[in-house]
Every structure is written in structure tokens, then in C-alpha cells.
Amino acid sequence: MAHTAHVDTFARDNLPPRSAWPELLFELPELDYPARMNCAGELLDGAVARGWGERIAIRAPDGRCTYRQLMAQANRIAAVLVEDMGLVPGNRVLLRGPNNPMMAACWLGVMKAGGIVVATMPLLRAKEITDVVTKAEVTHALCDRRLAEELQAALPACPTLKTVRYWYDDAPDSLDALTARQSGEFRTCPTAADDVALIAFTSGTTGKPKGTVHFHRDVIAMCDLFPKSCLRTVSDDIYCGTPPLAFTFGLGGMLCFPLRVGASTVLVERLTPEALMQTIEDFRATVCFTAPTFYRQMAPLAAKFDLSSLRACVSAGEALPDATRQAFKAATGIEIIDGIGSTEMIHIFVSHTPETVRRGATGYAVPGYRAAVLDEDGKPCPPGVVGRLAVKGPTGCRYLADPRQEVYVQNGWNVTGDAYLMDADGYFFYQARTDDMIISAGYNIAGPEIEGTLMQHEAVAECGVVAAPDEERGQIPKAYVVLKPGYVGDAAMAKALQDFVKSAIAPYKYPRAVEFVGALPRTETGKLQRFKLREMARTAG
């Protein structure tokens, strides 16, 4: 391999063999990047060089900072990593924190030092932290003091992780104290465009989490694709939203996309739907990134807030039910931009603009990507036929030393594990996760279609539909339903919901079992945990 700035080559050494990589496409002129590129150098020093030094980069409830100030803080953190913590380029640095300015500055500081970020969701427990540290052979950690407990509990089982510093901390050797001694000058590590920048772990529901490896070039490419063609971001945008910076959806939307264009991001630690709308009002935010369940909960409350600054809303992480899209549009006038992305692809690859929305579709291949629906043999399905979604583009799946590479990458395509169909115009319609299809008396039934229908019923706040075992039919669709306040979950309501589905879609798809629950199990990123519902359905008797 060509130039690398990495002294520690662990990540590069544990990439899959080149023959197991997806095919990479660099068809757009803006993807013609130089051989040497440091993504934080590009996003910070590049911004200052472009004359954006005095623009606001980060806004938070307790203050704001300019691009110049953020660059200086990232430089101080990089200097501490190298001078006080002994980091050499290529070392892996664990980052743990909620979305706050120090978390963002640390991410950028690690990049500048030539380290590799391994960011963890704030709610991870010691056992999960240990798995990630072990797999990525993490050597250093920077952690928000308030999240110290689980990290400290993990340390005895993490022999590679020797150097830890805490921020928002007043100890004499805290990151805050060490950075205060630094000048703010640092020579950004001259990484190769294809040096590893981050290892993002999937929120895998089964088996050990997989580490997806992304290069400096991939971080910049994600900024130059979806945000340019679908979101059409501009330098006056003010971004806000909920996805954690440890989730690549949040890394893009809450940090890198705004920095790429000289815009600003509002970082707030814990947001409920109400608090998110208050944030939009307080900061006059123009762009919002969050998950479908948030838009669903925001819609009925939107009238209480001044959301007039808002221009674009992005939904990803799971399918956006049309009922949610319409409710949010009726409440705010905004057509949500849906987009499917994945940790493996780093960000969104099928999406649309507000004007090119097509009802029920996730969108079309984001320019720079190609997408297809493949059959069992890997051949393209004709329009209208359900198969496996496959994509390729400038980014793609490279698992860190993991045999599951051959499951995600087949014949050069990234196969996402989603069942989709494509129409004659190249719009892609989500059906279900491939392994979530419900097979009932020989019929293939997609739970999300039933959910989408149930959500059109006035009594339904949220729902999840999964396969329940059934002697006669093998499986039946079972609906777990959260009702809106004021509705009663009794046998009559169950019957009403079943009849409602039968009258709206093919009757064989109606949920043969309905159970009312107070809440649905969700991940930190708002994804419905279907495996937990399936577990409940299996043990229900």
C-alpha cells in the first residue's frame, strides 16, 4: 500500500483483504480527493483558510464557539494526546460523552493527532465497552467525567487501554487542566486520504458488535453527497437534532455536515421531543436530524412552539411511516427528507429532496451511489419485485477482522439486509429487514406495512408488528400497540384495529394477535428492538 501516516498499523492490518471489499465508485468530480487528507484539517483549518474563522461552529445551552476557537481547542486536545498521553498515529482512542462541545472537540482532536476514533454510545455498560475495546485494541480513552463509572468498571478487563483522561473535570490531570497548558497550535497529522479515521461499531442485536472501518476520505465524502444533493445545505444553516455523535447518523448530521459548509451545529445533551422543539425555537434552527419516532411525537405538540426557522427535517434509522410524514407535514408544513443509511456505508445512500418525495418510498440512489434490488442469485429484480437492497458508491463496508464481511459484501455490492422493491422510476420502497419478514401460512408479510397502517388509526400512538409462533400457520403477525391518552386497550379496541387493517390492506395481513403495552423497546438511537418484541411473542404462551 502507498503512503500512510500511521505508525501503529493495527487498523490497516485488520482490514478485510482487498478482494472482499465492495466495489468503490468515484464518479462525481467532487470526489476526486488528494492523496493526503486529514478530515479535521479539512473541516477546521480548511474552514479558517476559507475565511470562516469568525463564523459560529458550535452552539450549546451554555455558550458558543467560532471555527477558529474550535480549531484551537482541537489542536490543544491533539497536543495533549501526543505530548501527555503518548499517542502515536494509528492508535485507537475511545470517546465517551453525550453530544456536547467537548465531545465534538475531542473527535476533531483525535483526527488531528492521527488517532482513530472509537466512539461509544453514552448508555453502553462495562461489558459492552469491554467488547469494543478488546476488538479494536483501544489504547487511549477520553471520557466525559459523568460517564466515568462504566468505563472504570471495564478497565480491569481491558489490558490494551492504558491511558484515560476525563473532561468536564477539575482534577489536576484532567483533560481540561492539560489542554489549558497548550497554546492552541498543532501541526495536523498529514494522514493519507485512505488512512483509517474511525471504527464505528454497529448496534448489532445479535452476536458480537462489528467494527466498521472508515477512512479520512470517507468522512469528507459523506459530507459531499447526501447533504449537497438532498438536503442542499447552506452556510447559514443551524443544525440541531438527537442522534449521538457516536452513531454515524449523528456524526454527519450533528457535526461534519455543518462544518463542511461553514454552518453551525447546536449540541444539546438529552432531548425529549418537547426539548428538541424548544431547542429549535431558542436557537432558530433551520435543519433537524432525528428518528421517525421523534417526528411522530413532535407532530401533535408542534403548535406550542415557534418552529418558523425550520427549513428541512431529516429522518433516518428506521422506516418513516407515511402516517408520521403526513402528521408532521400537517403540523409544520415541512416535508420530511427520509433517507436510509447504515454504519457500514457511514451515512445515507438512498433519499430524496422535499420536492422529489414519492409517497411510501425512501427515495432514489443519492447521486454518487448506485442502488439495486437483487434476487437470491444476486441478479437484479424487475421493477415491482421484492428482493435484497444492494448499493455501491464511494463509501462501503469494511469490517475490522470479521468473517461477516462476506455477508454484507457480495459480488462488489453492499447488501444491507433490507427487503426492498424498486419502481420503474428508480424509487426504492422499504418492506422490512430481510430477517424480519413474517411468514404466515405461506404468505410473506412485512411487519412495517402493518405498522404503517395501524398508525393511521386515530387511537394508535406507536406500534410494532412481529412474528409470533403459531401451530397452524407457522407464524402470525402480532401487533404491540401503544395507545394515545384517553383510549382503552380492551378486546373491542383490538377488534377495531384488526378490522381497520383488514379494510386498508390485503386482509390476510391483519394482526391476528394484538397486545397493548405502555411503551415499545427502543435503542438509544430510536430504533424499535424487534428482537425484544419477538422474544415477548415467543414467551407469551
Binding residues for ligand 3UK, rule: CB under 6 A, are 202-203, 248-249, 316-320, 338-343, 347-348, 362, 416-418, 430, 433
> Is the CB of 204 or the CB of 382 nearer to ligand 3UK?
204
Beta carbon of residue 315, minimum distance to ligand 3UK (angstroms, whole number): 6
Q: Is 351 strand, coil or helix?
A: strand
CB-wise, 109 or 526, nearer to ligand 3UK? 526
Output the smallest distance, CB 532 to ligand 3UK, in A.
16
* Sign of the alpha-carbon torsion through 457, 458, 463, 469: negative
Q: Which is nearer to ligand 3UK, 142 or 350 (CB)?
A: 350
Q: Is the dihedral of CA 85, 90, 91, 96 positive or negative?
A: positive
CB closer to ligand 3UK out of 362 and 440: 362
Residue 254 CB, nearest approach to ligand 3UK (Å) = 11
Distance, CA of 26 to CA of 474 (rounded, Å): 46
Nearer to ligand 3UK, 166 or 408 (CB): 408
Would you say 11 or 316 has its CB closer to ligand 3UK? 316
The span from the CA of 308 to the CA of 266, in Å, is: 17
From the CB of 270, what's the least distance to ligand 3UK, in Å?
Answer: 20
Contact 147, 97 (CB under 8 A): yes
What one-letter code names the amino acid at 76?
R
Q: How far apart (Å, rounded) are the C-alpha atoms in residues 349 and 37?
A: 23
Residue 84, SS3 per DSSP? helix
**Alpha-carbon span 412 to 408, nearest angstrom:** 10
What's the maximum distance between 2 C-alpha atoms anywhere in the chain?
A: 72
Q: How far is the CB of 348 from ligand 3UK (least distance, A)?
A: 5
Query: How far is Cα 274 from Cα 271, in angstroms, rounded to an integer?
Result: 8
Position of minimal CB gap to ligand 3UK: 341
**In the complex, least distance from residue 306 CB atom to ligand 3UK, rounded to whole angstroms:** 28
- β-pairing verdict for 56-60 and 63-66: antiparallel
Question: Do residues 348 and 341 touch, judged by C-beta distance below 8 A?
Answer: yes
Q: How many CB atoms lie within 10 A of CB 226?
A: 28
Beta bridge partners of 433: 418
User: How many helical (H) and strand (E) elements, i.e. helices and strands, does the chain have?
Assistant: 19, 25
Per-state percent for the chain, helix, strand, coil, to nearest 5: 35, 25, 40
Task: Say how far apart CA 36 and CA 40 lie, in whole Å.
Answer: 12
- Kindly state the smallest distance separating residue 178's Cβ from ligand 3UK, in Å: 32
Q: State the minimum distance, in angstroms, from the CB of residue 106 to ligand 3UK.
A: 20
82 vs 421, beta carbon nearer ligand 3UK? 421
- For ligand 3UK, the closer CB: 149 or 435: 435
Q: Is residue 63 left, alpha or beta, with left meaning phi > 0 and alpha meaning psi from -120 to 50?
A: left
Closest distance to ligand 3UK from the beta carbon of 202 (Å)? 5
Q: State the nearest-atom distance from the C-beta of 344 to ligand 3UK, in Å.
A: 7
Pick the closer one to ligand 3UK by CB: 41 or 250: 250
The nearer residue to ligand 3UK, 300 or 360, going by C-beta atoms, is: 360
Q: Strand pairing partners for 313?
A: 288
Set of cell numbers at residue 69: 476557537
**How far is residue 328's CA from residue 320's CA, in Å, rounded to a whole number?**
11
**Least separation in angstroms between CB 46 and ligand 3UK:** 23
Nearer to ligand 3UK (CB atom), residue 283 or residue 420: 420
